[in-house]
């Protein structure tokens, strides 16, 4: 326990949490906050759902990730140099997005949102690589939980804080304020130490592009592991994409949403992330993924109960507490699992490939959720999202039975 405490209080863990904050802040600014802005401006539900497609860079980021493994852009180093460039570009893109008018010019809005997601996804590539390279194998689970908690703090500030502020400020001012908060990520990049470079890193762009994929697909069950990553949180993600319109539709105010869903639920998420990090060390990664996945599915079904209850603040608080607790645990295990799969020689590319699949449900599967909710009704929609999680759970159980190794081939 003393060793765990020392690790938790180390500078490495603080950096993991702060980089998680910088990574989580932009995500919902093109998600739930943008949805609320569009709904306020009278944009129809189908169009709101289709705006999930601006998140495509999160699923395609492995295409340019090899550049981050191959090149060092400036004197800050291979990881911190790229981070600084992407963070400054992200701040500029958020300011541009703040100038859009959703009802008048949706194309402007779409292009600006796409730039935000591109630079946010690029930042994620480097942050994920930095965390994998700066933490030991034994620290990955705890580091992932602190990263996830930092990530959730960023999401909380952007979504909960953003929605509350939107009752008092214009959405343009909200986005400009969030761009200013990204300066914390810039400060972290400037003061964090550069991780050591592994031996055998790519010396040519060709090596950077090909070797990570060749090395990964030589492993046992490589394709099945990718399928699991794709399926594990698909139901949870589909449900989450439509929760803001759902809350508004059944009668909650934006302040109630911001206060209960974002602020009240925050502590449940933090607790879930920390519990998840500790249970991963005790149960092992496979058993943790199985248990946390079951809890995620049950919590998703809880929204269908809320749809029947209606605009009850205590009911909302109960559902959100359970959902955030299980979500924090599941995400910590999910992130630690993906980190364990990467080879330190090409961390950025391999992690980008894995996390790109993690983002597919957020973009592709989430795109028609507005139409599905409209056709099925809220209660059946959330029941369907809970059931969609079952294939991923069965797959991780099967992989565990086969004894599939999570460690990269050739890394002791």
Has residue 409 got a pLDDT over 50?
Answer: no
pLDDT at 108: 87
* Confidence category of residue 360, pLDDT binned at 50, 70, 90: low
With cut-offs at 50, 70 and 90, classify the pLDDT of residue 91.
very high
**DSSP one-letter code for 350:** H
Of residues 90 and 197, more confidently modeled: 90
How large a percentage of the chain has pLDDT more than 90?
25
Q: In this structure, are residues 311 and 252 in contact, taking their beta carbons and an 8 Å threshold?
A: yes
pLDDT value of position 303 = 92
Specify the pLDDT at position 239: 86
| CA distance linking residue 153 with residue 242, whole number of Å | 21
Q: Does the pLDDT of residue 411 top 70, yes or no?
A: no
pLDDT at position 5: 52
DSSP state of 218: T
Ordered DSSP codes for 3-59:
HHHHHHTSHHHHHHHHHHHHHHTTGGGGTHHHHHHHHHTT--HHHHHHGGGGGHHHH
> Is it the case that residue 125 has pLDDT exceeding 90?
yes
1/271 Cα distance (integer angstroms): 18
CATH code matching the domain that covers 21-191+201-399, chosen among 1.10.10.60, 3.40.50.300, 2.40.30.10, 1.20.1250.20: 1.20.1250.20
In angstroms, what CA-CA distances link 270 with 147, 263, 264? 11, 11, 11
**Eight-class DSSP state of 139:** G
As given in the structure block, the two tokens for residue 256 are 């109630």
- Quick one: tokens of 135? 């933490």
- In this prediction, residue 410 carries a pLDDT of 45
| pLDDT 10s digits, 203-245 | 888 888 888 888 888 888 888 888 888 888 888 888 888 888 8
Chain segment 43-73, per-residue pLDDT in tens: 777 777 778 888 889 888 889 999 998 888 8
If 0-12 CB within 10 Å is exposed, 13-18 middle and 19+ buried, where does residue 189 land?
A: buried
Is the CB of residue 286 less than 8 Å from the CB of residue 393? no
Domain locations along the chain? 21-191+201-399
Q: Where residue 2 falls among pLDDT bands split at 50, 70, 90?
A: low
């Amino acid at each position: 326990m003393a060793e765990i405490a020392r690790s938790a209080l180390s500078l490495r863990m603080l950096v993991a949490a702060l980089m998680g904050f910088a990574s989580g802040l932009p995500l919902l600014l093109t998600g739930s906050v943008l949805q609320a802005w569009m709904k306020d401006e009278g944009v129809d539900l189908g169009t709101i759902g289709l705006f999930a497609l601006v998140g495509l860079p999160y699923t395609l980021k492995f295409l340019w990730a090899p550049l981050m493994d191959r090149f060092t852009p400036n004197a800050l180093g291979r990881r911190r140099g790229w981070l600084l460039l992407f963070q400054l570009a992200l701040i500029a893109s958020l300011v541009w997005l703040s100038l859009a008018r959703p009802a008048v010019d949706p194309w402007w809005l779409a292009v600006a949102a796409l730039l935000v997601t591109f630079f946010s996804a690029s930042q994620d590539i480097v942050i994920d690589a930095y965390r994998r390279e700066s933490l030991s194998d034994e620290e990955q689970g705890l580091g992932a939980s602190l990263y996830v908690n930092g990530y959730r703090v960023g999401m909380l500030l952007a979504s909960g804080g953003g929605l509350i502020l939107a009752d008092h400020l214009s959405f343009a001012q909200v986005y400009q304020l969030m761009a200013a908060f990204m300066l914390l990520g810039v400060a972290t990049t400037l003061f964090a130490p550069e991780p050591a470079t592994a031996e055998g890193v790519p010396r040519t762009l060709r090596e950077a592009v090909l070797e990570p994929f060749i090395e990964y697909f030589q492993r046992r069950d490589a394709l099945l592991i990718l399928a699991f990553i794709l399926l594990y949180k698909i139901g949870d993600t589909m449900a989450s994409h439509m929760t803001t319109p759902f809350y508004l539709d059944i009668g909650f105010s934006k302040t109630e949403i911001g206060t209960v869903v974002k602020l009240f639920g925050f502590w449940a998420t933090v607790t879930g992330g920390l519990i998840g990090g500790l249970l991963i060390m005790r149960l092992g990664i496979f058993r943790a993924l199985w248990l946390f996945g079951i809890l995620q599915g049950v919590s998703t079904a809880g929204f269908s109960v809320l749809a029947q209850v209606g605009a009850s603040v205590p009911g909302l608080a109960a559902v959100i507490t359970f959902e955030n607790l299980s979500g924090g645990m599941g995400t910590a295990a999910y992130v630690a699992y993906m980190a364990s799969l990467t080879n330190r020689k090409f961390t950025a590319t391999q992690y980008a490939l894995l996390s790109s699949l993690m983002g597919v449900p957020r973009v592709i599967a989430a795109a028609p959720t507005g139409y599905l909710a409209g056709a099925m009704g809220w209660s059946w929609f959330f029941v369907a999202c809970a059931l969609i999680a079952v294939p991923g759970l069965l797959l991780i159980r099967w992989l565990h039975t086969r004894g599939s190794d999570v460690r990269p081939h050739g890394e002791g």
